[in-house]
Amino acid sequence: MDTAAAVVSIVFALMCLGSAAGKVVRAAPVQDNLSAAGVPDSWYPGLAALLALGGAGLLVGLAVEGVGIAAAIALVAYFVGGVAFHVRAGDRNFGPVGLYLALSIATLVLLLLA
């Protein structure tokens, strides 16, 4: 794995783990964003688990070939779903989810090229 892929994987994994923690503790900015997208409160634990698993997968992928790519693919799907929820709800604030989607795509591309 090259340096760029490793650095981006680590940074993005930490971002995903931080976002997962925000869902667990129901941090106000996270709650506001998810509410605007129409995400039910009951989904927070599951979404947090998926993000934590994705972040952990990126970290494991530093040592185990293929795991990082699988995690990056799953995270791209997760954030595409996030954008879809915002669109469906008529929420035009794509900033946070758009950033995470772009980073998940960048991570996947770098891992595939490494």
What are the tens digits of pLDDT across the range 41-78? 999 999 999 999 999 999 999 999 899 999 999 999 99
Model confidence pLDDT, tens digit, residues 99-110: 999 999 999 999
Tokens (6 digits) for 88: 């469906």
Separation between Cα atoms, residue 45 and residue 34, nearest integer Å: 13
Residue in this structure with the two tokens 């954030």, named with its chain if needed: 79
The answer, as to whether pTM is greater than 0.85, is yes
pLDDT mean across residues, the chain: 95
Per-residue pLDDT at 24: 95
